[in-house]
Amino acid sequence: MFGLENAQSLVGIAGVLLLCWAISENRARFPWKLALGATATQALLVLLLFGVPALREGLQAVGVVVDGLATSTQTGVAFVFGFLAGTPGQPYPLTDPGALFVFAFRVLPVILVVCALAALLWHWKILVWVTQAFGVVFEKTMGLRGPPALATAATVFMGQVEGPIFIRSYLPSLSRSELFMLIAVGMACVSGSTMVAYATILAGVLPQAAAHVVTASIVSAPAGVLLARIIVPRDDAIEQTTAYDPLAAKKYDSSIDALIKGTTDGLQIVLNVGATLIVFVALVAMLNLMLGAVGDQFGYVFSVEEGLGVLFAPLAWAIGIPWHDAPAAGALLGVKLVLTEFTAFIRLGAIPLDAMDPRSRVLLTYALCGFANVASVGINLAGFSVLVPERRNEVVGMVWKAMMAGFLATCLTASVVGLLPAGLFG
């Protein structure tokens, strides 16, 4: 049934589109057909994935696969770290079993395993076929030409910098709109390795967590394309159809070579995620200490989280979250933007079941599931400076705007999901 809570999400859709139009480089060229088509495609994809029994069972199977990956990974972690990994046979009495969930042992190692598996599946051409299929969908439904469509599809599974690697030789000839779109889509989605990590974090508080996370990343890609095209409209004179061979971009000598190189790439991601979390969480703690000292002078408790909650609460309400959950949800949206989505997901996973409406938790999962944050600005600057150094200054001039496009894309996705009946996800 379509009720007031669903209509509330229309505010989010309209607000996101209006904001992107306001900062557009050419307001006279609003892509109406793309806007209608992209939002309809998002809604249709979610309806099909959760409403068609066969596809719904497939999504549930994703949850089984995620559980299997987590269990298998823990076996490897326990072999290396022993009881520190939280396995049975603790050498001391446990007073708080929940404390055994250590992020470094439970979540980060999953990224290693998934990166290795992704490299292996690419070498076996399974992931190549999947990526090409999604690339064709983006090309035919959203008007993208071959190489950017392929890179957009690869970004959904491989990551914000890894996706464009597949068309590295073609990057210098992209239009400004296409380059901006790749950066924005990269921040609107997450990689396959982090999908599994987020699903692991939310498994205890969100039914079908893996299904929601996978759907969120896939469905946010059209939203990223749409908002990028609104902010930097396409250049019809430059963008002509061009074919491209994805196999020429990334090759492995054998299955073992794929596993080893995939593990090495995963290690870099793990170190980057771990180090970023340590630094950004520490910086927020420092800010909270300073704000606390100021607050003590006025008899009030100030914190970064509280400020973000006030700032982003209206946005949280606009995407469909009830007002009583809006301050907490707004704080998580702010944490995702200022810190990382990892930090936001960890905090969402720590919210007790009875402390937040189930619908709010579902919508937040979609709104948080993207790489749009301050740290990703640096990652994209570093990555594209290597991939296409001759366009570094151009990237510097658009990366902050691309971050906002990616952030708003996940909010648009959450708003579209909010339009749909809650019973669909039951």
For 247-261, how does the pLDDT look when each residue is reduced to its tens digit (9 = 90+)?
A: 555 678 888 898 888
Q: What is the mean pLDDT of residues 205-217?
A: 85
Which of 66-80, 158-172, 294-308, 361-375 tops mean pLDDT? 361-375
The average confidence (pLDDT) of the chain is 80
Which of 17-21, 267-271, 370-374, 389-393 tops mean pLDDT? 17-21
Q: What is the mean pLDDT of residues 38-55?
A: 83
pLDDT of residue 21: 93
Model confidence at 242, pLDDT cuts 50, 70, 90, reads: low
Q: Of the ranges 10-19, 80-89, 252-261, which one carries the lowest mean pLDDT score? A: 80-89
Whether residue 359 is predicted with pLDDT greater than 70 in this model: the reply is: yes
Does residue 373 or residue 93 have the better pLDDT?
Answer: 373
Q: What is the mean pLDDT of residues 60-65?
A: 72
Q: What is the mean pLDDT of residues 75-91?
A: 71
CB 198 within 8 A of CB 208: no
Nearest CA among 127, 172, 179 for reference residue 152: 179
pLDDT of residue 29: 85
pLDDT of residue 92: 61
Model confidence at 17, pLDDT cuts 50, 70, 90, reads: very high
Whether residue 83 is predicted with pLDDT greater than 80 in this model: the reply is: no
Within 8 A by CB and 6+ apart from 88, the residues are none
Single-letter residue type at 347? R
Query: What is the percent of the chain with per-residue pLDDT over 90, rounded to a whole number?
Result: 16
Give the torsion through C-alpha atoms of 225, 227, 228, 234, to 10 deg. Answer: 80
CB 210 within 8 A of CB 159: no
Report d(CA 346, CA 217) in Å as an integer. 18
Q: What is the mean pLDDT of residues 55-76?
A: 74
Does residue 376 or residue 181 have the better pLDDT?
Answer: 181
Q: What is the DSSP letter of 388?
A: -
Whether residue 44 is predicted with pLDDT greater than 60 in this model: the reply is: yes
Q: What is the DSSP letter of 144?
A: -
CB 23 within 8 A of CB 231: yes
Domain of 332 in residue numbering reads as 4-89+98-425
Q: What is the DSSP letter of 243?
A: -
Model confidence at 45, pLDDT cuts 50, 70, 90, reads: confident
Query: DSSP characters for 284-295?
Result: HHHHHHHHHHHH
Report d(CA 315, CA 326) in Å as an integer. 8
**Tens of pLDDT along 395-408?**
888 888 999 999 99
Nearest CA among 243, 237, 297, 230 for reference residue 18: 230
Whether residue 46 is predicted with pLDDT greater than 60 in this model: the reply is: yes
Nearest CA among 414, 189, 64 for reference residue 425: 414
Report d(CA 374, CA 406) in Å as an integer. 12
Q: What is the mean pLDDT of residues 24-29?
A: 87
Domain count of the chain? Answer: 1
Nearest CA among 87, 82, 85, 80 for reference residue 106: 85
Report d(CA 73, CA 114) in Å as an integer. 10
Residue with tokens 């022993």: 82
**Tens of pLDDT along 268-301?**
777 776 777 677 778 778 887 887 777 767 767 6
Distances 50 to 9, 221, 327, 408, 417 between C-alpha atoms, Å: 19, 18, 29, 23, 11
pTM (two decimals) = 0.81
Whether residue 100 is predicted with pLDDT greater than 60 in this model: the reply is: no
Q: What is the DSSP letter of 97?
A: G
pLDDT of residue 20: 93
pLDDT of residue 19: 93
Does residue 393 or residue 301 have the better pLDDT?
Answer: 393
Single-letter residue type at 267? L
